[in-house]
Amino acid sequence: EAQVTQNPRYLITVTGKKLTVTCSQNMNHEYMSWYRQDPGLGLRQIYYSMNVEVTDKGDVPEGYKVSRKEKRNFPLILESPSPNQTSLYFCASTRFGTSTGELFFGEGSRLTVL
């Protein structure tokens, strides 16, 4: 089954404790992206990657890091989480090369930073 898998689905942590949210896709997609979703603000892009070793900032990259060492994986790293990073996070992927391609989303990771 084609899917995007995120882990963990739920996480409560404390300010300053480094954490990683993993994302893996099994569709051989070149393009992967991370979004955060907050009430009234829709989905805002954090970082994206057009292929292995190619990453770029989205609209709200501050406080986040990513890496793309393998095509299927795109982890999101919070080096020193703060309460304003409490949010619902989504990873998504699509085939690169088309401007109208469907974004496939994971089920989301709800993060709470105390």
Q: Mark 55-84 with x for binding to other proteins (rule: CB under 8 A) and - for no binding.
A: ---xx-------------------------
Stretch that binds other proteins, among 11-19, 21-29, 69-77, 99-107 (CB under 8 A): 99-107
Asked whether 113 and 64 are in contact (CB, 8 A), the reply is no
The smaller minimum CB distance to other proteins, of residues 77 and 96, is found at 96
Q: With binding defined as CB under 8 A, does residue 40 bind other proteins?
A: yes
N-terminal to C-terminal alpha carbon distance within the chain: 36
| Interface residue with other proteins, options 21, 32, 34, 35 (CB under 8 A) | 35
Residues near other proteins (CB under 8 A) are 4, 31, 35, 40-45, 48, 50, 58-59, 90, 92, 94, 96, 99-103, 105-108
